[in-house]
Amino acid sequence: MKMKKKHFDYMKAEIDKILADYPNLIDVYEHGRFPRSDRVKDLQVRFNHDLMFGAGLTKWVCDNLYSYLHDDHIATALRSICPKIERKY
């Protein structure tokens, strides 16, 4: 992974806070109880990016990561950080 450890650790800590604050979030996504769930092609990608957005990391990612990474690197980090989910709807 090309992401600096300090950046990875920061993203993980912020996403973990969201998961702790919303313990049923995985169930909500797995059962499609979120806006526009009927249009989602890749549920894991949607979940990962929604977590990043919900953690308030969008601007931080733009300011800190895009200077040396591209979307594929960030997606790889998100796959490592976010819990795996399964579509059940």
How buried is residue 78: exposed, middle or buried, by Cβ count under 10 Å (0-12/13-18/19+)?
buried
Tens digit of pLDDT at every position of the chain (89 positions): 899 999 999 999 999 999 999 999 999 999 999 999 999 999 999 999 999 999 999 999 999 999 999 999 999 999 999 999 999 99
Residues of the chain by 3-state class (helix, strand, coil), percent to 5: 65, 0, 35
Coil, helix or strand at residue 68 = coil
Whether the CB-CB separation of 39 and 33 falls below 8 Å is answered with: no
Task: Tell me how crowded residue 46 is: count the other CB atoms within 10 A of its CB.
Answer: 17
